[in-house]
A and B are shown apart, each in its own frame.
Chain A
Amino acid sequence: MKKVIPATIIFIIASAFAMQQPAGLKAAIARGKTVYEATCLACHQPDGSGVPNMNPPLVKTKWVLGDKKALTKIILKGLQGGEIEIDGDKFHNPMPPMESTLTDQEIADVLTYVRNSFGNKASMVTVAEVKALRAKLK
């Protein structure tokens, strides 16, 4: 009997989460797709495959699937070019910083989209997470 209560609570929390997350997730992915098409697609391509020697792929890379803070920082602050290495290849273009052109919401959405497209599967990035990081990096 004692054991049933925590199990029930866990069940309730888990099912509430399971029901809520995909709904929020779906909407975020849809919004993120629009951001991707307007701001990222030109370089990373419609299928996220990137451009050899120029722009890296977004398909199952350690940055896309890895630490959300590190990933969000790349979007906010950009990269110089030549900083990312995948299978011994580097990329000639810079990654433009997006802090002046995208809102916290847009960054959260586009990263949620990228982390759940092109064969990727990873958790959402929330507005609160982007907001906190932006404040910290100021």
Chain B
Amino acid sequence: MMKKILILAYTVAIAATAFASDTTRVKSSSTGVATRDEAPITLPQGFKSVVVTSGLGKARHIVVAANGDVFVKLEKLKEGKGIMRLHDANGDGKADEITGFGNYVGTGITIKNGYLYASSNDDVYRYKINEKTGTVDIASEEKIVTGLVNKNQHNSKSLALDNEGNIYVNIGAPSNCCQVQDRVKGSPGQDPCPILEQAGGIWQFKADKTNQSYAEGVRYATGLRNVVGLDWNTEVNQLYAMQHGRDMLFQFYPELFNQKEGAENPAEELFRLPKGADCGWPYCYYDNDKKQQLLNPEYGGDRQKVDRCADKVKSIAQFPGHLAPNALLFYTGNQFPAKYKNGAFIAFHGSWNRAPEPQAGFFVVFVPFKDGMPSGKWEVFADGFSGFTSSASTGKAKYRPCGLAQGPDGSLYISDDNNGTIWKVSYSK
């Protein structure tokens, strides 16, 4: 009986919390289905998906070459390879030839001006690629950036390039909130936070110079705890990033955050990043209930004080807590309906720090944009990845969305790093 009530409460809580800020949620999101025996993902009316391949393992970020070949960066080597190339020979969307290269694990991968860029958790590499054929010259491998902070926590290095020959690399802070003792209840925040010197921000390097490290790079934006979703918006020529907000507000400060507030806070935030931006971590967090950037309790915050957060860069969109945004992509294609043009797709990996409240996320959302700023509420675009019908632990999720890429024909690709499934999503009237 008690269990039933709890499950019911959880279900209500999921519905109420995950979509609280989502008034435009697509109601009938069950038209598109993936082929094969894979659990179908749900999509808005008119969209359909095909499973490009599955079983790649920890498939992190993805990129599609001009010929349609999909390149996948793996966080765990598959048959000794860390980058997979998926080639569709007959145009049915499914991969017919899968080959691999690169013997390092990592997350970031992208293509720009005839080069394929990929990151390990310490370094950035590049290779010459013939985009017409998808052929990569593996022998041309160059290490362009090296020796970045990698202390396990928040160590993935996402990549984005601008049109002026610069590459942007996120360097996540190996910390939750820069406490003297990380994640120990009661340990105070370090002030100033020394981590920010070499991490907790986005660094800019030259795309064509080898062996650059901190001395050759520029700290382009700071005060970002951990960014995995990073993209350059070519419409307004600016960098955008999705921050993973801090953990443990309920566990460490039950007098300020009840269990539900701890699950909903802080916001996962979308930032537009001019050079020199300071987004506030570890001193500040965005309170989803107060709708404001406030001082973190480790630095004397009480859910009222703004203090030094007054002059930090503010996010341009906020999402429920702990959903883990792992990919950001500005859609520039012409295949999807007009409202998607220049808007942002965000892949949420799914939460863990919402427990014992139900976990949430495990979906791809869309944020409409106009002139580089959100022009409406976010809505769920692709869902059904977790396979959950009621509250369950994160580890039970079937798929976890992690990467996004746009194909040459305007299709959207989604990767999952649980099983290594890649979907191709397309639209037809």
Interface residue B184 (Cβ < 8 Å from any Cβ of A): yes
B155 at the interface (CB under 8 A from A): yes
Say yes or no: is A81 at the interface (Cβ < 8 Å to chain B).
yes
Are A46 and B355 in contact, with the CB atoms below 8 A?
yes
- CB B354 to nearest CB in A, in angstroms, measures 9
B152, A82: Cβ atoms closer than 8 Å: yes
**CB-based contact B394/A52 at 8 Å:** yes
Number of residues on chain B facing chain A (CB within 8 A): 29
Interface string of A86-101 (1 = CB under 8 A from B): 0011111110111011
Residues on B lying within 8 angstroms of A by beta carbon are: 58, 75-76, 151-155, 181-186, 247-248, 250-251, 352-353, 355-356, 393-396, 400, 417-418
Which chain B residue has the least Cβ–Cβ distance from A80?
B152
Interface of A with B (CB < 8 Å)?
37-39, 41-43, 45-47, 49-55, 57, 80-82, 88-94, 96-98, 100-101
Bound: A90/B151 CA distance, A: 13
State the Cβ distance, B79 to closest chain A Cβ, in Å.
14
Residues of chain A within 8 A of B151, CB atoms compared:
80-81
Contacts of A82 in B (CB 8 A): 152
Q: Which 3 A-B pairs have the closest CB atoms?
A: A81-B152, A51-B352, A96-B183
Q: How far is the CA of A51 from the CA of B396 in the complex (A)?
A: 9
A92 to B60, CA, bound (A): 15
Tell me if A41 and B355 are in contact (CB < 8 A): yes
A35 to B154, CA, bound (A): 27
Asked if B353 and A46 sit within 8 Å, CB to CB, the answer is no
Contacts of A94 in B (CB 8 A): 152-153, 182-183
Residue of B nearest to A45 (CB): B393
Minimum C-beta distance from B325 to chain A (A):
15
Please indicate the chain A residues that have their CB under 8 angstroms from the CB of B394 in the complex: 45, 51-52
Chain A residues with CB under 8 Å of B353's CB are 42
Report yes or no: A45 in contact with B251, Cβ–Cβ below 8 A: no
B153, B251, B417, B418: the one contacting A92 at CB < 8 Å is: B153
Instruction: State the Cβ distance, A74 to closest chain B Cβ, in Å.
Output: 14
Question: Chain B residue with minimal CB distance to A83?
Answer: B152
- In the complex formed, the residue of A with least CB distance to B183 is A96
Q: Which residue of A lies closest to B185 (CB)?
A: A101
CB nearest to A99 among chain B residues: B184
Chain A residues within an 8 Å CB radius of B58: 53
Query: When the two chains form their complex, are residues A42 and B355 in contact, meaning their CB atoms are under 8 A apart?
Result: yes
Q: A residues within 8 A CB of B76?
A: 88-89
Asked if A93 meets B153 with Cβ closer than 8 Å, knowing A46-B393, A101-B185, the reply is yes
